[in-house]
Structure 1
Amino acid sequence: MKITVVGTGYVGLVVGACLAETGNDVICADVDQGKVDGLKKNVLPIYEPGLEEYVERNQAAGRLVFTTDVPSAIRDAEVIFIAVGTPPDEDGSADLKHVLAVADSIGKHAAREVVVVTKSTVPVGTAEKVAAAIRPHATVPFHMSSNPEFLKEGAALDDFMKPDRVVVGVETEFARERMAELYAPFVRTGKPIIFMDIPSAEMTKYAANAMLATRISFMNEIANLCEKVGANVDLVRKGIGSDSRIGPAFLFPGPGYGGSCFPKDVKALVRTSEERGAPMGVLKAVEDANEKQKHRLFQKITEVFGGQLKGRRIALWGLAFKANTDDMRESPALVLIEELLTAGATVVAHDPAAMHETRRRIGDAIGYAKTSYEAAQGADAMVVVTDWNEYRFPDFARLKSVLKQPVVVDGRNLYDPTKMESLGFTYRSIGRGRA
């Protein structure tokens, strides 16, 4: 099938590469000349395990093409995925200007009957706006579809190639048949393609992310309460996660959620609910709880040093909002860095993938180390911000020897508190002991 994906950000690039991997002819179009030039050389603008190999292999096979000529990419496509950014406006609503610009181009340049798919995360009613933008210019039949993505950064290829489910909103049989054919290779093991109306598909994406964000904020608040009452959040997590009505996923406490999806989608859903006269108090509380949680690590560091951070050197292990990505959007590390610098501390950080992106955002406001131990060298404290695998089993003797003071603040609960104290560390974690 001839597929065009407009937008080569995180979602568009994964979609294009995975659809090419199953034999489709895919054109990925983007107006960013520098990004496209890099992609043609297999230089990716994002870090995602395995994606570079997919891009390289499918470009070599001729199934995946990158271009800045959006009209040409649109002209002969059978299915067009709109995967451009939808950044939040100042009021929290999703900014659809890029989505609607693509729609306008589709109307002007599509030359065959086509299915137009909103793949970007967009509010309910966006497909109608896209259709309205296409319609005045259209010379061929077009069919709208909503196909929200459920890709976890760091595991996106597996999520696309072996999905739990594929959600597709359609309004015509033509669109249903095309989308069923396109996704057939990905659901051969019996996982469902769930067809529904378009507004329900648009809502499903927001509802899923909002539910997961709610679980995270809930467990963070439970962890904070555990510290006050002397409970261990790890045991509480296991106790409630074994309940089949709850399950174990997304129950790990930490420094707050970040990334490209949860913060933006919660804000957008809150905004939509207010606009439609059905305000969602629970989600507003989720958002507020997450913002408070992002200050938790700084509070713990401050408590250890009695509020005296001026002149202290603090090592951060991890910068990305989660492991296996270089995504710094809404990362708790950015909040922590700002607070530490404001308090007069110096910061040296290590991250396997996100240091380049961090430097792009904040420049040389902090130091960047080639290794985790180099970051810890001479530091008054080491803080675990991101749960990269390489931080899970460090050489504690070596870590203690390079630190100026044996202080570890563990924002991901990677280490055993009893062991850390027996090794002579001053140790703080989330929800497992001292407040």
Structure 2
Amino acid sequence: MQVTETLNEGLKRGYAITVTAAELDDKVNEKLTEAQPEVEMKGFRKGKVPMPLLKKQFGQRLIGEAMQESIDGAMSEHFKESGDRPAMQPDVKMTNEDWKEGDDVEVEMSYEALPEIPEIDLKSITLEKMVVKADDTAVEEALSNLAETAQDFKARKKGTKAKDGDQVVLDFVGKVDGEAFEGGSAEDYPLVLGSNSFIPGFEEQLVGVKVEEEKDVTVSFPDDYQAEHLAGKEAVFSCTIKEVKEPVAAEINDEMAKKFGAEDLAALKTQIGERLEAEYAGAARAVMKRALLDALDNIVSFDLPPSLVEAEAKQIAHQLWHEENPDVEGHDHPEIETTDEHTKLAERRVRLGLLLAELGQKAEVEVSDAEMTQAIMNQARQYPGQERQFFEFVQQNQQMQQQLRAPLFEDKVVDYVFELASITDKEVSKDDLQEAVEAMENE
């Protein structure tokens, strides 16, 4: 077998690979010899079929396998000896398309090699970590927001008309074709208007009712209603309004705290403070991560594989186009042109991606099975009722697994760099942190 270099420009590589007819024949014979003990053929005992007969019967079929294995072996040996790592799958094609049995096999292989990543003194990197304490004002503000979500209702003045968002306490009897149906009646039922908890059109008809008013509400059950005998039917609900209540924020006390699983108000305040500081820490980490990536981007320079940059630029352009055209859900749209801005951003992403991959490999950073499982479960929660199907889909889809593993790996490498870098804490206000986050997101 002969491997000859045909191209070596920057990161681009090209090689001509020749597998001789004799080597190919030897490979076929090797496969036949390996299979011979198990072959059965009429007129011969198992394992006793003569080699010439085997070659006549199966040789033609094995030539393709022998070709592929020989070429794969040559490529593997080349990468082992050269130390090259291809940026993307090498392009391999047969050049003597008029090949016939007995001819040498001539193949052309081309690829872009990953660049050498320069060493970095990570200890020389200096970063600032924003630290925000959860003060009393922030805790009280969060408490007020919780009180809004845990709203109570108090009776409106008698004679006041119900508004959207009010709670109406009512008795009702539902009838279809003049006959009451099972499950269509209730007493003292508290219904929040606008909650969409009843059949479409029901709550809207109660806006404007008053205490002691009687009102017939006419609605139609949806065609796909779960009770088949009611699906698509028109129903009349005779309603008696007993109370009309307006929403009010819950009183901030121990009783409200217990609704949120805390022993008392003091315990709830402690929980809120811890949650706020965890949120602040997460935001501060994101800001510091951006500062780290900016620092790495400034101090590192190396050649980038054009194919990776081009693919990333297309991906960026495509994503931004869809963000600007949210009504287009599919990919049936004109080809999207990449700009210099897309390419510049792609170069940064590819450079940092290759650098972080190199740092992670040298530091032996790995994403554990438990971490992957947790990531899949977190993603699956976005598909209520279909969690199992999503989990199975990811398990069978290597590309999806890589999409989930990549950010986990990146964050672990970033944490590794944080451990080595020189980090100084800086106490700031919540507003200062918010401004830093907004500035980062607007870049």
TM norm structure 1: 0.22
Relative contact order, higher structure (CA 8 A, sep 6+): 2
Larger strand proportion of the pair: 2
Larger-Rg structure: 2
